[in-house]
Amino acid sequence: MLEFGIATVLLIGSILIGFPIAFSIGITTVIYILMTNPMNVSSIPIRMFSGINSFTLMALPLFMLAAEIMIRTGISAKLFDFVRISRFGKKRGGLAYVNILASTIFGSISGAALSDVAGLGAVEMQAMEEDGYDKGFACAVTAASSIQSPLIPPSNVAILYAGTMALSVGAVLYAGFIPGVLLALSQMIYVKVNGKRMNLPQHEKKYTPEERKDIRKRGLIALGMPLIILIGITGGFVTPTEAAAVAVLYALIVGLFIFKNLTWKMVVESLNAAAKTTANLFIITSLSAVFAWAIGVEQIPQQLTAFMLSISGNKYVILMIINVVFLIVGMWMETSAAILLFVPILAPIVTSMGVHPVHFAVIVIVNLTVGLITPPVGVVLYAVANVGKEKFENVVKATMPFILMGFALVILLTFIPDLCLILPRLMGFLD
């Protein structure tokens, strides 16, 4: 355990001083193996390959490519206008509702909070600022609504978790749907309750009948991608990897023949961005697999299980401790990297206590995504402050009510597992 403690301090320290996460994990893993069993160094390349040799993980590069193409073809702006012409756009604080709904829908395409901010955030914040909203509040709503992205299916984060822990992809995807909707509803209720007190604007942008018809058509076309993916996976017509390939084909067809704004330059940029993201993710995945194997050889998970059980035999007490751990981790570590590094260690502990692995998957994802908007480090807060050109402290102040809603959802999901499990069971993914 001493070597594991040294490795943990080294890992956290290297990340905090700005080392790339992949290098931090790699250096820590090599040093840990040298401290415990130097002969195992020769096994590192084999274990790295084993960590990414998964049919499920093959879906991630394709989903990322599809999301990049959809972002470059302006799908975010089309979804924003699609929601804006609904009844929500006419209410007091209408653009706040539209922001939340559009992010929730776009999240099902991008699958990542930072992609939501990059693809939709600028559109949302600019529209709200032009309509008279306080800039800090606009940034706060944009940041808070982006964290639905990893929960609403189809989600890259859910697919990564399922592939890492050998769980049903469909089960993990649908398990996040109700929590994602609850998060969106809580944010909309906050806008409703506080709209008058905050003097939120009540303006309705005027559209001609022809404009409304075009917006509806383009919005429904944009919604086709997540619907095709979910129906395909749920109906058993395609595997997640095949669904990802269909998503890329759909994005290309929409961009080339329907929106007619996809250029070869956009395709090349999309391929380049998806390749970089995939390479970074797969390096982290492979090195995390080596680290998990190395500590498994030393039976660290079993020792951690014994330690946690010595604290309490109550699974809810243990879950609350783990909630705090993942909230803190989520503040300073990218969601995918945190899952790859910590879940293989902690999941066996809670499952041995009777916690359903799919229930735990949702708890982990929610904690990590709430961490993205939790100061002092929440990376999404910095992203929206940068995109919205607002002071970080103003964004934090305006985001605090939404952060508290996220904490409340974490506690609710911890003690009511059926909120996560009922939909996968109804869909036939769980017994």
Omega before 154 cis (within 30°)? yes
Rounded to 5°, the CA angle 206-208-210 comes to 145
143 occurs within a structural domain = yes
322: domain range?
37-426
pLDDT value, residue 363? 95
137 occurs within a structural domain = yes
Structure tokens at 425: 């069971």
pLDDT value, residue 119? 62
CA-to-CA dists, residue 167 to 123, 170, 335, angstroms: 36, 9, 18
pLDDT value, residue 203? 67
Among residues 82, 172, 75, 85, the alpha carbon closest in space to that of 115 is found at 75
In contact, 358 and 424? CB cutoff 8 Å: yes
Residue 96 parent element (H or E): helix 94-110
Q: Please name the residue that has the structure tokens 């680290």.
A: 291
18 occurs within a structural domain = no
Among residues 370, 375, 364, 359, the alpha carbon closest in space to that of 342 is found at 364
One digit per residue, pLDDT tens: the chain, 431 residues? Answer: 677 778 878 877 887 777 777 788 888 888 888 888 888 788 888 888 887 777 777 877 888 888 788 778 877 677 777 777 766 656 777 788 888 888 777 665 655 666 666 666 777 787 788 778 888 898 898 888 888 878 888 788 888 898 888 898 889 989 999 999 999 999 999 998 888 888 888 766 677 778 788 878 887 887 777 778 778 877 778 887 888 888 889 889 988 888 888 889 999 998 998 888 788 878 877 887 887 788 777 777 677 777 777 888 788 999 999 998 888 888 777 788 788 888 888 888 898 888 999 999 999 999 998 988 888 767 788 778 887 788 888 888 999 999 999 999 999 999 999 999 999 999 888 87
Spatial distance between the Cα atoms of 334 and 368, rounded to a whole number of angstroms: 8
294 occurs within a structural domain = yes
Structure tokens at 414: 């911890």
pLDDT value, residue 118? 61
pLDDT value, residue 142? 87
Backbone angles phi, psi at 283, to 5 degrees: -65, -45
pLDDT value, residue 43? 83
pLDDT value, residue 114? 61
Spatial distance between the Cα atoms of 268 and 275, rounded to a whole number of angstroms: 10
Instruction: Count Cβ atoms below 10 Å from residue 316 Cβ, excluding itself.
Output: 12
pLDDT value, residue 320? 92
pLDDT value, residue 123? 75
pLDDT value, residue 289? 81
14 occurs within a structural domain = no
Total tally of structural domains belonging to the chain: 1
pLDDT value, residue 377? 67
- Collapsed DSSP state (helix, strand, coil) of residue 376: coil
CA-to-CA dists, residue 300 to 51, 166, 200, 325, angstroms: 19, 21, 53, 18
29 occurs within a structural domain = no
22 occurs within a structural domain = no
Spatial distance between the Cα atoms of 405 and 294, rounded to a whole number of angstroms: 38
Structure tokens at 160: 């990564």
